Amino acid sequence: MLVTKQPLFRKFWYPVIPMSELEDKPKSFELLEQPLVLWLDPEGKPAAVEDRCCHRTAKLSLGKVIGGNICCAYHGWTFDSSGNCVCVPQSQDKTISPSYKVKAYKCVEKYGYAWVCLEDAIKDIPQIPEALDPEFRLIPEFYETWNCAGLRVMENELDMAHPTFVHTTTFGSEEHLIPDLMELKETDFGLYYKSVLGVKNPQAQQKNLHMEEDKTFRTIDGYWYLPFTVKLRINYPNGKVHIVVNTMTPINDSTSQMVQFCLRNDTEAETKSADVIAFDRAVTLEDKRILESTDYDVPLDLSNEQHMITDKPGIMIRRKIFALLKEYGEMESSSK
């Protein structure tokens, strides 16, 4: 499946840029091959329009923000968050043709990121109750490009057989090749997967989790939100909870922007954010190395790859996406 060949994927919200990166100047982002420019409007809310001026096609992201509007670097035409041109410095009588406009996209702030939907959304932005819970703190972790399909990462996060082989320096345990529990439930937003996995607990993690054991169990509440967001709520026996929320925002068929934050029910005084990020950095780099070696054209037709018991969540993900494509009158696309 090639994501840019399926208009369906334009109907979802994706986090595209951390709000903190919009504070000083406009930023560009390519979403499903659509170049965008984002900036903060007069109220400090994020705005997104096509990154192409309607005058001579210069990239608006080269411009600057003036009074909450985006001003083109070429001749100074200025556009508001609706894409309407509000200033043409060269206009003698100050009139502006209504045809002077650029395409604007829906854009909102959530969880500290600007989210964009290119068309009418068929699902809401994932609801993460812990993000509103004062017991939890939110730590932004990673914002970087991965050379792989988002679908591969979604499956990976719910694949409880890979830690033994991939997470050899972090938490994978040779004693636990499969989880002790696998419960799968289809939901309106995607799926819910409960599992229990025995893991190693290296020293860095013992410190982060305030545990002295070198082995422990993770009880995982896994949520997959159509199409490319996963939340893993990892519950430890001592009551510590580490929640990873990861969206693989599709840039093009072979590339995704990895956007990850975590939520924890401890304080900065108990565990430094830098230590939390350092451990998750090691984990995610172990995944990245493998996932970037996989085909980005992920087949939804199950006969094109081989499967085993622990692939059940990934198989359900493929089935749900396939069903949704059919519902919207689309066929699976492929480069093959």
# residues contacting Fe ion (CB under 5 A)? 1
For residue 88, the minimal CB distance to ligand FES (Å) is: 8
Q: Does 87 bind ligand FES (CB under 6 A)?
A: no
Q: Does 55 bind ligand FES (CB under 6 A)?
A: yes
Q: Does 72 bind ligand FES (CB under 6 A)?
A: yes
Q: Which amino acid makes up residue 322? A: F
3-state secondary structure of 325: helix
* Residue 287's binding partner out of ligand FES, Fe ion, none, with CB under 5 to 8 Å set by partner kind: Fe ion
For residue 56, the minimal CB distance to ligand FES (Å) is: 4
Give whichever of 52 and 162 is closer to ligand FES, judged by the CB atom. 52
Place of tokens 């995610």: 284
Q: Does 289 bind ligand FES (CB under 6 A)?
A: no
For residue 162, the minimal CB distance to Fe ion (Å) is: 6
For residue 3, the minimal CB distance to ligand FES (Å) is: 30
Give me the count of residues in the chain: 336
For residue 197, the minimal CB distance to ligand FES (Å) is: 54
3-state secondary structure of 318: helix
| Backbone dihedral region for residue 323 (phi beyond 0: left; psi -120 to 50: alpha; all else: beta) | alpha
CA distances for 169 relative to 143, 174, 261, 286, angstroms: 23, 12, 21, 9
Round to whole Å and give the CA distance between 31 and 52.
14
Q: Does 322 bind ligand FES (CB under 6 A)?
A: no
Site string for Fe ion, 270-309 (x = CB under 5 A): -----------------x----------------------
What distance lies between CA 312 and its chain's CA centroid?
Answer: 22
| Contacts of 166 by beta carbon, 8 Å cutoff, 6+ apart | 172, 286, 287, 290
Which residues here bind Fe ion, judged by CB under 5 A?
287
